[in-house]
Amino acid sequence: MTCHDLGGPCMLEHQGSTADAVIKAQDRHLRDAVRAGDQTHVAAREAMKGRWRHPKKSMDWYNRVKRDFAALP
């Protein structure tokens, strides 16, 4: 899955054996991009932080990512 697939602005691909591993890779990518001064990732980083703070509210997003990950070849 790419950063863009997960709600970010770029096409960097994230690898993992589970949806949770891909989500954690996305979180690291967003954090590192924002720390490096990439302003295009700020909104996606804020959204990801909100999902970590309020996981019950973000279950729709999480379930969509899990479904999309399961559908990958």
Q: Answer positive or negative: Cα dihedral of 27, 55, 39, 69.
A: positive
> In the predicted model, what is the mean pLDDT of the chain?
94
Percent above pLDDT 70 for the chain? 100
Give the end-to-end CA distance of the chain in Å, rounded to a whole number: 11
The per-residue pLDDT for 55 is 82
Look at the pTM and tell me if it is higher than 0.85: yes
Contact 65/6 with Cβ under 8 angstroms? yes
**What whole-number distance in Å separates Cα of residue 17 and Cα of residue 40?**
27
| Residue 57 confidence class, pLDDT cut points 50, 70, 90 | confident
17-51 pLDDT tens trace: 999 999 999 999 999 999 999 999 999 999 999 99
